[in-house]
Amino acid sequence: MTIHTVNTTAFSGQRPGTSGLRKKVSEFQQSAYLENFVQSIFNTLGDCAGQTLVVGGDGRYFNRHAIQVILRMAAAHGFAKVLVGQGGILSTPALSCVVRKRGASGGIVLSASHNPGGPDGDFGIKYNIANGGPAPEKITDAIYGQTKVITEYRTSDAGELDLDVIGGARIEQMDVEVIDPVADYAALMGELFDFAAIKALFAGGFTMRFDGMHAVSGPYAHAILEGLLGAPTGTVINGTPLEDFGGHHPDPNPVNAAELVALMSVQDAPDFGAASDGDADRNMIVGRGIAVTPSDSLAIIAANAGVAPGYRGGIKGIARSMPTSTAPDRVAQALKVPCYETPTGWKYFGNLMDAGMVTLCGEESYGTGSSHIREKDGLWAVLFWLNLLAASGKPVATLVREHWARFGRNYYSRHDYEAVESVAAEELMTHLREQLPTLAGQVIDGYTVDLADDFVYKDPVDGSIASKQGVRIVMTDGSRIVFRLSGTGTEGATIRLYLERYERDVAMHDMPAQEALAGLAALADRLAGLHQRTGRDRPTVTT
């Protein structure tokens, strides 16, 4: 084996987004494209001698090849050890867990999360730091800077390693350990939740369906739900990870998990339903005849945190992304703990958790988690709900309605306009920003505008500033309209419109969400010229 220095040419457009670098597989398959980005990570890290790196992904197409490339390059950069999940598999939350438990210096996650997979689908790569969380902007900016000036990369000419057999190997002077991808994560879940109570729930005839969406959560759900907790075989459906996710879109929402929603809508439906996404960091919670919004799920978890052993000492605070509904804020107020509003992107929660300021975090895009790791965690949220169901003896619908009766209902929806021409999307946002100085105090369609701004976040820990994080239009009654451009797509731009209406009156809690939000949707269209500027008469996806 020999280490080689290979001349290369920089590629444009390798700026990491909110969740790393995501592009079409065909772009990553270009000669040296992946190598350039990995080299840029290592250049940013500096001296890697003696350090431990964790590598794994969601099993999508190109995952195995990318891991072999990373292993050879890590050996060429002096890493002492790399831990890699068996078969190249490590869910995003499990990788965060392993980084923290094993004292690694960081990890490389190979995933495009909820984006479609396969040869014509998407691929992604991101670097997680020693706390297990996504690299902050100062690091991702530095990586991007390196991608623009790179002229060479270093790699070993070692052959491919067998990733399917647990055990050790060596590349150059570097040890490679293929690990059980589930073990460390499952042990941590056992510390946080009352597995005995959940096991008794299943033993008593409780029924559940967990949709793994042919993504990476399947092996974890099989091992924990059907293995450790004794759920009947067949509880986990679509539980085998496939390189193309079975041709489906592995995004756990009522549109893409329609099979699960339909199953939970029939008269003899299971007691509980749940789903997770491509890399297992998102979740959807479904009861008989009711899909729980991510914002409500976070709020209900916060209000009932004490049912789980890992949280019986109370929570220190809650953090939510700005577009997420304000339902968790009301719980935080009742618990007399702070609730922080951050930009979209889990990395913004890391500082708050590291500083001991928050325990629970969530985003409207079906991401929920806690300070047990530094990523959102789909199966963790499912296990919390199972713990709550076991402790309360109540079905999902009852728990949700009791929560609304206590705190009020936040009607909430997200309208996605996907693959919009980038210039048109930017012009729409510019048009909105130009109106902001004049909106406050206006009465429009019966709503009085209380606040209109382009969200700016000042990190309370390190003082860093994140600007232009989304246009907020907040009404005096607490209703909100939020516009932002998403950084997770790979084609054009995705415009996300978030609508929220607060309703305290219990007698008004049974309206269909889109009916309750119709007035706000019309107002949003009027302010943004949404349909005219996008050429669309309806959203691509409504959740």
209 and 273 together in one domain: yes
- Rounded to an integer, the average pLDDT of 337-347 is 94
Domain boundary among 381, 407, 433: 407
76 confidence band (pLDDT: 50, 70, 90): very high
- Rounded to an integer, the average pLDDT of 250-274 is 93
Domain boundary among 407, 433, 462: 407
214 and 230 together in one domain: yes
463 and 388 together in one domain: no
Q: Give the span between the Cα atoms of 465 and 477, in whole angstroms.
A: 29
Q: Tell me whether residue 370 is one of the annotated catalytic residues.
A: no
177 and 195 together in one domain: no
394 and 455 together in one domain: no
Residue 525: give its domain's CATH number.
Answer: 3.30.310.50
Handedness of CA 321, 59, 230, 272 (dihedral sign): positive
193 and 162 together in one domain: no
154 and 79 together in one domain: yes
User: Model pTM?
Assistant: 0.94
Per-residue model confidence (pLDDT) at position 487:
60
Q: Give the span between the Cα atoms of 410 and 328, in whole angstroms.
A: 10
pLDDT tens, position by position, 401-423: 999 999 999 999 999 999 899 99
pLDDT tens, position by position, 429-458: 999 999 999 999 999 989 999 999 999 999
Residue 360: give its domain's CATH number.
Answer: 3.40.120.10
Decide: 154 and 41 in contact? Cβ < 8 Å: no
Of 42 and 114, the one with more pLDDT: 42
- Is the pLDDT at 376 greater than 60? The verdict is yes
How confident is the prediction for the chain on average, in pLDDT? 95
Closest CA to 98 of 114, 112, 84, 79: 84
pLDDT tens, position by position, 166-198: 999 999 999 999 999 999 999 999 999 999 999
Per-residue model confidence (pLDDT) at position 52:
98
Catalytic residue of the set 19, 113, 325, 365: 113
Cβ atoms < 10 Å from Cβ of 397: 13
- Is the pLDDT at 103 greater than 60? The verdict is yes
Q: Give the span between the Cα atoms of 188 and 192, in whole angstroms.
A: 7
- Is the pLDDT at 525 greater than 70? The verdict is yes
489 confidence band (pLDDT: 50, 70, 90): low
pLDDT tens, position by position, 275-332: 999 999 999 999 999 999 999 999 999 999 999 999 999 999 999 999 999 999 999 9
Q: Give the span between the Cα atoms of 83 and 523, in whole angstroms.
A: 52
Structural domain range at position 501: 409-542
- Rounded to an integer, the average pLDDT of 192-214 is 98
Domain boundary among 362, 390, 407: 407
Domain count, the chain: 3
Per-residue model confidence (pLDDT) at position 490:
57
DSSP string, 141-164: HHHHHHHHH--EEEEE------TT
Q: Give the span between the Cα atoms of 422 and 430, in whole angstroms.
A: 12
46 and 168 together in one domain: yes
Per-residue model confidence (pLDDT) at position 347:
87
Per-residue model confidence (pLDDT) at position 56:
98
Per-residue model confidence (pLDDT) at position 17:
84
- Rounded to an integer, the average pLDDT of 208-226 is 97
Of 449 and 256, the one with more pLDDT: 449
